[in-house]
Structure formats: C-alpha cells, structure tokens
Amino acid sequence: MWQTKERSIFPSIFVLCFVLLAFVFVVIQNIATADTPKDVSYTNETISDFFENTATDIITSNINLAKQKYIQEFDTVSDYSFQKYLSDKHVLQNRKYEPADLVLIDAEHVVIKAWRPYLRQAAATAFDEMAESFYQEMGEEMYVLSAYRTYQDQARLVDDGCSNTRCAKIWASEHQLGLAVDIHVATKNWYTHFSSGYLDRMNENAHKYGFINTYRKWPKIDGKMKEIWHWRYVWVPFATELHEKDMSFGEWVKSNEE
C-alpha cells in the first residue's frame, strides 16, 4: 500500500520541479537581455559626484563640529578653564580657588627651584614635552623658579611690598590657576634673563605646546610689567591663535570686549 502511494506522488513532484526550473530560466534570460543604459558615462559621473559630495559633506561637518566644540569649550570666565583670564578687573570667582588636578612637574630636563613645583595635569604634561623638545634643540635645561601658588602664597608677595605692576592681586594670579610657570635657562647664574636665542625659541615654539607669554606688551596693554620668564598654559588652539595674530592675552580680551 505504501509503495503504491509513493509511486503516484513522484511524477507530480517531478513536474513541479521542472516548472520551477523553467520559471527561473525565463527570469534570468529577461535580466540578461534587459536594455543597457545608453549613457553609461553619465551614470558613472553621477556616482562619482555622489561620493565626492558625500566626502566633502563629511569633512565640512567634522570641521563645523570641531569649531563648535572649540567655541563651547572656550571659557575665559570659569576658574577651572584653561582660558581663564585674570587681571585687576577680571578676578577669580572663588578667591581661594585650588585646582583639583595638580601634579608634580617631573620632566627629565627641568631643574626645580619652585616652592610648590606643581601644575595642573594637562599643563604639566605639555610643559614636560616642551622642555624635552627644547633641550634636544638648545642643549639647555629649564629652571622652574615658580609654579603653583596658593592664595596665601600670593598674599605674602603682595604684603611684602610687590608693586601692582609687578605682582598680580591676591585673587588674580595665574599661578593660583595652576597653569603658570616662571622659568629661566639653567645656567650657573639662574637669576639672569634668558639668552636671546633661548627666548627666540620660546617665542617661536611655545604655542605648539599650549603656552603663551602673558605679559609681553607692557602695562598699558597687559596691565603688568613685561615678564619674559612668565609662561602660562591656555591650550594649543588658543595659544596658536594668539601667536598667529601676534597678540597678548590681554590684548585679545580687550579686542573682543569692544
């Protein structure tokens, strides 16, 4: 009985398979014989333009995002900002502000003479890299005469009679931000000014590491006497902008407030 039923089903399955194969064959033939687009060059050009435009859009978008991020992160007001601007009129919001990320300056080619040899972590890392690069080119180490200062440290300087054109107000010192260092060439007489070649090297390259010479255009512009030894971290993009425009920090702030 089972054998008879199997034999009756087999021809039907065979016919069904044949019909399916024939259908697939017809479909393939239709695809193979379909008309080819006459203007192939136009099609290729359109595809090329598409990818080129897409790539341009992506690049433009990334540039705009970078600019937006730069603008959003740029902050001359907040105490913790790398671009916090300080002057007699622009002071710390928290007069006894203490950075939370201070680390020891520990570069191989730096001689420490500072009472508190600390900077904020980003500034310390950049300073280490700068000191190494300068040593490789100049063959001279840096003396760090002063770095981080507390509110009390700055108060002692002012109380000891440091003039307002020489020292910042108690609540307006870049040293309290943990972003500034006073440096000299590491010579036997380390109180002397920089050698001209060393200073030129600093002026030409410090911005690559995010550092600027804050007080370089005298009191009428910067509010303080010129200090070729005072260098402050502001972040590479902003330091580069000031370098390219040949502007001091105070000069930039005044131009943007007008």
Q: Find tokens 């090297």 and name the residue.
A: 201
**Residue 107's pLDDT is what?**
87
What's the DSSP call for residue 164? Answer: T
On the question of pLDDT at 122 being above 70, the answer is yes
What's the DSSP call for residue 172? Answer: -
Element (H, E) at 111: strand 110-112
**Residue 257's pLDDT is what?**
78
Per-residue confidence band for 195, with pLDDT thresholds at 50, 70 and 90: low
What's the DSSP call for residue 210? Answer: T
* Whole-angstrom distance, CA of residue 157 vs CA of residue 155: 5
What's the DSSP call for residue 36? Answer: P
Q: Find tokens 């333009």 and name the residue.
A: 49
**Residue 74's pLDDT is what?**
77
CB-based contact 185:194 (threshold 8 Å): yes
Q: How many helices (H) and strands (E) does the chain have?
A: 8, 7
Is the pTM for the entire model greater than 0.75?
no
Q: What's the token pair of residue 145? A: 């005469």
By CB atoms closer than 10 A (0-12, 13-18, 19+), residue 96 is: exposed
Per-residue confidence band for 117, with pLDDT thresholds at 50, 70 and 90: very high
CB-based contact 219:165 (threshold 8 Å): yes
- Given its phi and psi angles, is residue 41 left (phi above 0), alpha (psi -120 to 50 degrees) or beta? alpha
Q: What's the token pair of residue 104? A: 């020891």
- For range 99-127, the mean pLDDT: 95
On the question of pLDDT at 182 being above 80, the answer is yes
Q: What is the pLDDT of residues 204-253, one digit of tens each?
A: 999 999 999 999 998 889 998 988 889 999 999 999 999 999 999 999 99
Output the CA torsion sign for 164, 166, 170, 174: positive
Q: What is the pLDDT of residues 11-58, one digit of tens each?
A: 556 555 665 666 655 555 555 554 544 444 444 556 656 556 666 666
What mean pLDDT is reported for the chain? 79
What's the DSSP call for residue 214? Answer: S
